[in-house]
A and B are shown apart, each in its own frame.
Chain A
Amino acid sequence: MKRAFPILAILTAILLSYGLYQALVVAPTEQTMGDVQRIFYYHVPSAWTAGVLFFINFVASIVYLARRNSKVDALALAAAEVGVVFCTIVLVTGPIWARPVWGIWWTWDMRLTLTLVLWLIYVSYLMLRRFSTSGQTPVIAAVLAIFGTLDMPLVYFSIWFFRTQHPQPVMGGGGSIDPRMLHAFFVNLIAFTCFGLLVCWSRYRLEVLRREVEELQALESLLELRSPR
């Protein structure tokens, strides 16, 4: 597994550069929005990657509660952290795109609000992990992850109904999409997914190592106490 990492890293780097080339050079400029539309090739793949990572976190949390395996918890932590990073990218690139196109930085639109609430829930998850003092942080964090996931459909319906009551700005209508745009989009989607999973994996390995070191140190200090000086 460890040998596969550099190979996958190189593949991901190639894929990302190919995606960059596709998005910035090959894909045609959008007619009404202009070059700023190219942010789309990063915005949407980031959102997708964040979603994948949060899903991994949810599954890992459930598996942890069933199996109580420390490595699964490390995976949950890594997925949540990297997911929050990608979710932040979505929330930052969104307004950069929205400002020139809609004329506003932010609107309480369905997807924007959902992403924001998801981000808030996972930041609170990370805060809980950071602030927790007991050795049972993984259990509490896993429970919170399950609560957060249960919350998402409710958030979805509440915002959906909230939006149908209030007026909202008109967002891009139909129209046909150039196949080169679609190609650039899918290349970036795959590249970002690989990139996110790769970062998550290395964060996971780091966390597992960190825990091993911690255990060893605890063991050492115990042995030192026992041996007479």
Chain B
Amino acid sequence: MSDAGSLTRSTLIKDLRLEWRSKDAINSMLFFALLVVVIFSFSFDPTAEESRRIAGGLIWVAFLFAAVVALNQTWARELRNQVLDAYRVSPAPANSLFLAKALGNFIFVSMLEALMTPLFIAFYNLRALGPAYQLIFVAVLGTWALVVNGTFFAAMSLRTRSREIMLPLLLFPITIPALLAMVEATSSILTGEFSAKFWIVLLAAYDVVFTIASLFLFDLVLHAE
């Protein structure tokens, strides 16, 4: 178990270091999300009251699109120089690789959210009327939901033609309940009209179900060649 842990840690550190030096994923995500925010605010031009209602949807759609940009790069990096083949041959447990990748993506997408949220608040004049601290739970659970499925499906779409487009095609239908939960929870907190509790519990359930499923099935996907 400690071996698996150290493998996860070293892969994660390697990915973070690579990202720190190149800043490919975070830059492309940030700029992409910025573009989405600007285009959305042009096309809706909402008042403060209205923007509270739609902001939940806009924020999460922007993050979802931006996350896909980063998720697509997760495994592509390992294809160069046959790194992934080396992983397959090595006796290292597949799950520690998966966890490292998922955690790395989680960190990237969380950074994106931390940087973009102030911009959203400024552009849409947002102020939460409900309990704002709950937004943190929504963000953490929602990001993990996107990332755990996204990392898994990115590995699945590695062996397909035009894999960049395949990832959203697989990811979006499955994440519909998670996305609905994130959007509705955020809107409920911003408008203060409903309690977000149910949605947070649903997100947590989603995370548990798909984290377990991914850990069970990732070995099959990694070795599917």
Partner-B contacts on A (CB < 8 A): 65, 117, 120-121, 123-124, 127-128, 131-136, 139-140, 143-144, 146-148, 150-151, 154-155, 157-159, 161-162, 165
Contacts and interface: CB of A to CB of B under 8 A. Distances in A.
Interface of B: 149, 152, 156-157, 159-162, 166, 169-170, 172-174, 176-178, 180-181, 184, 194, 198-199, 202, 205-206, 209-210, 213, 217, 220-221, 224-225
Nearest to B180: A158
17 contacts: A124-B170, A124-B172, A124-B174, A128-B156, A128-B169, A134-B224, A139-B224, A140-B224, A144-B156, A148-B174, A150-B210, A151-B177, A154-B205, A157-B202, A158-B202, A159-B180, A165-B184
A140 B159 contact: yes
> Looking at B174, B209, B221, which has the most chain A CB atoms within 10 Å of its CB?
B174
A150 B213 contact: yes
- Secondary structure at the A interface, as helix, strand, loop or mixed, is helix
A20 B150 CA distance: 46
A57 to B, nearest CB: 15
A151 B220 contact: no
A81 to B, nearest CB: 17
A165 B194 contact: yes
Nearest to B165: A131
A131 to B, nearest CB: 4
Contact of B206 (A128, A140, A154): A154
B177 A155 contact: yes
Which 6 residue pairs are nearest across A and B when measured between Cβ atoms?
Answer: A136-B224, A134-B159, A158-B177, A120-B173, A154-B177, A131-B160
